[in-house]
Amino acid sequence: MTHTVGYLQHRRRALPNWTADAPEGVDVMAVPETELADLPTGAISALLVGMHVDQCLFAANRAWTRGFLAAGGTVIMNGLLAYPFLDGLARFQPLPRRSREALEVRIVEPVHPILRGVSAHDLSYRKGVAGFYGRGQVPPLPGARVISTLDHGTVPLDWEWPAPGGGRLLMHPGNDLWMYAGGPTSAARMAHQMLAWAARLPGFGEDAA
């Protein structure tokens, strides 16, 4: 069975190269951001939302997103949330102090399938520079599971929220998870693992830690 993961696209151009490295059984399909509202929710099992999309437009399509989550769909939201698209979601809040130490990422146990084999150091530093992965928080929705943190574990960073109806929202308020794809560190694993998790492949779904 093939699982189709939608990539919300803001440009009229080919899918990014990293999507070619999808796990077996996962297809990535371009979904132009202007056509999302017309997409049948059953056409894709997950939707990837990158940091450069028109968030205002995405939020205007909140009815679609709610329906998609209620039907069991998965949304992976990257970037700093400026236009909340679900009840209870708040805007991104930057860390009050963005010191190097405060920007260090900690991975919460048990490790989420997307972060398996990824070191916190490789999330914290890209060629020695801190802050690419996360610089603040979108406060987790009630019932969310926190996946990673900033500022000595005190600030939630990535989180997963189980939506009523079986859907899942993964919030990553930082640069795109797939930005690291093809890179030289363990952070490069995330893109592939994210697609496997998005498609609920065996070992990456609810059966996984």
Cα(37)–Cα(18) distance, integer angstroms: 26
Nearer residue to another protein within complex by CB, 83 or 183: 83
Chain residues that interact with another protein, rule: CB under 8 A: 10-12, 51-57, 79-83, 92, 94, 98, 127-129, 131-132, 135-136
Tell me phi and psi for residue 26, to 5 degrees.
Answer: -120, 125
> What is the smallest separation between the CB atom of 133 and another protein, expressed in angstroms?
11
- What is the smallest separation between the CB atom of 113 and another protein, expressed in angstroms? 26
Place of tokens 């890179």: 183
DSSP lists the bridge partners of residue 46 as 5, 74
> Would you say 77 or 181 has its CB closer to another protein?
77
Nearer to another protein, 123 or 195 (CB): 123
- Smallest gap, in angstroms, from Cβ of residue 194 to another protein? 20
Cβ closest to another protein, residue 57 vs residue 108? 57
Q: What is the DSSP letter of 86?
A: S
Chain CA centroid to CA 148, Å: 12
Cβ 128 to another protein shortest distance, Å: 5
CA-closest candidate to residue 123, choices 75, 157, 81, 89: 157
* Residues forming beta bridges with residue 8, ordered by sequence position: 31
